[in-house]
Chain A
Amino acid sequence: MPGSSSVLLDARAVERTLKRVADEIVELNEGTDGLVLVGIQRRGVQLADRLAALIQAREGATIPRGSLDITLYRDDLQTVGPRPVVGKTELPWTLDGRRVVIVDDVLHTGRTIRAALDELTDFGRPSRIALAVLIDRGGRELPIHADIVGKKVDVPAPGRVDVFVRELDGKDEVVVQTPEPHA
């Protein structure tokens, strides 16, 4: 895309931010009892894994993790067509009475989270569901907010926020793409 791109978070900043988010998750949850982290495919899964490792290192408790692919819960199959690859949903734990934290890379319109909430409730009845995101870029189309935000930045469409994680992309980085104002 023509326009400018700038690094919002580099590898060290991503690490610092995740540490803070991990602390805030434990704080919000008042400990690690009943805590389950559920990452949204794709990059939310890696972020949930990292957050769980950070919490484990600090609190000494093992944090159950799951992954959620919300493709089949989207509201736009009729309009944009089927996604080429549907990922797996893996929730090997009972969610009844647990405190679930949904983890995603970027919060934008809120439609992904709406779908994730629908899917989660098909798996059980958590006592509480919270949302933690690395980046909140604004532009909500639904009344949804994140409980924990790594970094807030205003990037209206058609701008883009690209999150890279080392497990999939070989590097940790968050890049903001802004189109030319007169494009």
Chain B
Amino acid sequence: MTAPLGKDLLGLAPLSAEQIRLILDTAEPFKEISERQIKKVPTLRGMTVVNLFFEPSTRTRISFEFAEKRLSADTVNVATSGSSVVKGETLVDTARNLEAMRIDMVVMRHPSSGAAQFLAERIESNVINAGDGMHEHPTQGLLDLLTLRDRLGDLTGKRVCLVGDVLHSRVARSNIAGLLKLGAEVAVCGPRSLLPNAVDALGVSVFERIEDAIEWADALNVLRLQFERMTAGYIPSQREYNRVFGVSRARLDRAPRDLLILHPGPMNRGVEIDSDVADGPHSVILHQVTNGVAVRMAVLYLLAGGRPDLADAAKGGEARA
């Protein structure tokens, strides 16, 4: 059998619904491994994974590192501040040098959209996109899907609204692609200045008022306002944003049904989400973090195996035992 996802995981848009379901189903047994006393299986023993982060990250990098270590891979973390990147080395040169040291996989976060694909086309190692600019963040999309599926069951016909800074959000793009493929209804809600120009081409509904979104949805995925990517003038002020679009207890209390509240983190408490919502009974934010490790283990596992050259050599050995 060949690798069921291909060589790389660059985004959810290129995957089929079956491939997405395969990843989510594979993540299920991996949840249990993190509950064991010895949180480790030998599956990826001998493989070397490089976590190459050109942008700051706590949650995603640590989550990937846990996933790699719990599968017994050897991991190396490269953060750009301490690497030759500050000396002007190009992305491809950095990666080729790493490959010359015989690595098997690269997990990369990069500020430029398309960087993961650029790299994947130029090196032999598997590439996992851990967020590229404003393009995609597939493992975040997958862990959101897994969390929604845990709570809502089959996602066909379920209504999920992405709230806030959709424009700058790779999380939003991965979520929209994944949710639509699994048959969910998707909407976005936020100030016009923070929605993409071509929002109508995304295949989602648009709510101008957060109250309408709350009335419609089964789940809200509240996005982080990405101040570091906002050059100027996207919103009048944080307080004004909170007053008009903030997800507050008072607004949720008027909802016709209980909503699930997701947030990819890190949160701007009191801006896009109020603390009593983030810590409240509808929040599944920490559940998302737990699922992140399981989903990343599943992706590593599915990308790691099935090299056709070795499969031929070992044909005789594959015995039902």
Q: Give the B-binding residues of A (Cβ under 8 A).
A: 69, 72-74, 76-82, 84-90, 106-113, 118-119, 122-123, 139, 141, 157, 160
Contacts and interface: CB of A to CB of B under 8 A. Distances in A.
Contact of B42 (A79, A107, A118, A139): A118
A79 B22 contact: no
Contacts, number: 97
Nearest to A74: B43
Contact of A82 (B37, B306, B318): B306
7 contacts: A79-B310, A80-B306, A80-B314, A81-B311, A108-B321, A109-B319, A157-B316
A42 to B, nearest CB: 12
Interface stretch (B7-15, B24-32, B90-98, B131-139): B24-32
Given A82-B305, A123-B38, A87 B3 contact: no
B308 to A, nearest CB: 9
Contact of B321 (A73, A88, A110): A110
Nearest to A157: B319
A81 B22 CA distance: 14
Contacts of B319: 108-109, 111, 139, 157
B235 interface: no
Interface residues of B, number: 37
Contact of A80 (B43, B44, B311): B311
Contact of A88 (B1, B4, B32): B32
A78 B29 contact: no
Given A87-B29, A139-B319, A82 B301 contact: yes
Contacts of B305: 77-78, 80-82
Given A80-B311, A109-B321, 13 more contacts: A73-B43, A78-B305, A79-B313, A80-B314, A82-B302, A85-B26, A89-B29, A90-B32, A107-B321, A108-B320, A109-B319, A111-B319, A111-B321
Contacts of A82: 1, 3-4, 26, 301-302, 304-306
A142 B38 CA distance: 26
Given A81-B311, A123-B38, A76 B302 contact: no
Contacts of B318: 76, 79-80
B36 A84 contact: no
